[in-house]
Amino acid sequence: MVKLDRYIGSSVLVAILAVLGIILGLALLFAFIDEVGNVTDSYTVTDVLSYVMLTAPRRLYEMLPMAALIGCLIGLGSLASNSELTIMRAAGVSIGRIVWAVMKPMLVLMVVGVLIGEYVVPPTESQAQANRALAQGSGDAQSAKHGLWHRQGDEFIHINAVQPGGLLLGVTRYHFDKERHMLSASFAKRAQYGDEKWQLSEVTTTFFRGIGTGKAATTEVINAPQETWDIALSPDLLNTVVMVPETLSIAGLWSYIHYLSDQGLNNGRYWLAFWVKVLQPVVTAALVLMAISFIFGPLRSVTLGQRVFTGVLVGFTFRIAQDLLGPSSLVFGFSPLFAVLVPTLICALAGFWLLRRAG
């Protein structure tokens, strides 16, 4: 039985890895073609290649559930086409045993996926975004195409580029009073973190006097070579701010969710990304279970092309359902956990039902 489990598991795993390689290659090619349109004198084709390759771990992580679905259909489908599954069933091997033989390598694959999402995707994605922002320019205030906005208290902040090691390029700050009158606007070319504080360089600050008082408004411009910036924003937290929620680690999402809560800001999008990442192994298992049920049910004796088409159709339907329910939870106020669980439970229940019918 050990040899049989290994044979089934290896057949499915090889198919999944092959599908994953093909999908990832196509995604990287399309990403390169899309990014080439942004090439300038400073942002060269070499920079584009570097950016696309650094985003490869994130794309691989996102495509793992789809690859597991299609690869399982192909791997088990080839065994069914060669009548090997029929022989196994005739020899007394139960469907549950075959399901467990498929799930064992899938458990390893899911653990690898979690490790990639937690420890590989965040640093590579951060480096990719930082390199692109730096290459596309970080000159004057808000000139960078891929800068970020952040708010803390009454201060609104725009940063052109975030570099590793606590270095910021192009920091613009707008300070408002309680009535939302602008008190000052400043721009610093650089900000370096050290000794638990930020040190701004080449700072130009414009103060707006008399606004909201009924008196004549005046402005005063002050230039300073150095200035200390007092803000509760560490480099680690800033690396979280600069990245889209889907590329953060589970630990990073958890800490930033509570930071936003402390600041009185909306954290719904981060809760959604948190539950998507936490439940991705469950999602993958549900899709694989559905694929196995298809092989023992409606796709037992169809061609390879039909299996691939079915896998792509089911995978895209599942993805569209998630993409619709996720933003809907933010708009209509229901739990993001519900938005992630509903498509997963539907797949799992459909898989169990089809397997019971086949058994």
Name residues whose C-beta falls within 8 Å of residue 224's C-beta, 6 or more positions apart in sequence. 203, 205
Q: Crossing angle for the helix pair 268-278 and 250-262, nearest 10 degrees?
A: 160
pLDDT in tens, 59-90: 999 999 999 999 998 998 888 888 888 888 88
How far is Cα 48 from Cα 70, in angstroms, rounded to an integer? Answer: 30
User: Nearest to residue 222, comparing CAs of 203, 201, 242?
Assistant: 203
Tokens of 114: 């979690």
CA 137 centroid distance within chain: 25
Is 226 in a helix, a strand, or coil?
strand
- Domain range summary for the chain, segments of one domain joined by +: 2-135+267-358, 148-241
User: pLDDT tens for residues 127-171?
Assistant: 888 788 777 765 555 555 567 788 887 888 888 877 777 888 888
Rounded mean pLDDT, 191-213: 84
Residue 359 pLDDT: 63
The predicted structure's pLDDT at residue 137: 62
Share of the chain above pLDDT 90, in %: 32
Please, what is the Cα angle at 289 between 283 and 294, to 5 degrees?
130
pTM (2 d.p.): 0.81
* Summary mean pLDDT of the chain: 85
**φ/ψ of residue 130, rounded to 5:** -65, -45
Q: Which long-range contacts (CB under 8 A, 24 or more apart) does 17-26 make?
A: 17/71, 18/71, 18/74, 19/67, 19/70, 19/71, 19/74, 20/60, 20/63, 20/64, 20/67, 20/71, 23/63, 23/66, 23/67, 24/56, 24/59, 24/60, 24/63
Nearest one of 311, 256, 214, 220 to 15, comparing CA atoms:
311
Question: Which pLDDT belongs to residue 282?
Answer: 93
Neighbour order of strands in the sheet with 218-229:
148-152, 155-163, 167-176, 182-194, 197-209, 218-229
Q: What is the pLDDT of residues 259-271, one digit of tens each?
A: 888 878 788 899 9
Exposed / middle / buried, residue 230 (Cβ in 10 Å: 0-12, 13-18, 19+): exposed
Residue 100 identity: W
> Using CA atoms, how far apart are residues 27 and 110, in angstroms rounded to an integer?
21
Contact by Cβ (8 Å): 132, 47: yes
In angstroms, rounded to a whole number, what is the distance separating the alpha carbons of residues 95 and 97?
5
pLDDT of residue 216: 64
pLDDT of residue 65: 92
- Name the DSSP letter for residue 164: T
Cα separation, 315 vs 238, in Å, equals 34
Nearest to 182 by CA among 208, 159, 162: 208
pLDDT of residue 145: 56
Which residues contact residue 263 at a Cβ distance below 8 angstroms, ignoring those fewer than 6 apart? 151, 152, 153
pLDDT score, position 334: 87
Q: What was the pLDDT predicted at 143?
A: 53
Which CATH code is given to the segment(s) 148-241? 2.30.30
Classify 208 as helix, strand or coil.
strand
Predicted confidence at residue 42, as pLDDT, reads 79
Residue-by-residue DSSP string for 267-313: -HHHHHHHHHHHTHHHHHHHHHHHHHHHHHTTTTT--HHHHHHHHHH
Could you tell me what percent of the chain has a pLDDT over 70? 93
Highest mean pLDDT among 124-128, 282-286, 303-307: 282-286
Quick one: pLDDT at residue 246? 87
Tokens of 170: 């192009």
- Flag the least confident range among 152-156, 212-216, 237-241: 212-216
CA angle 145, 153, 204 (to 5 degrees): 55
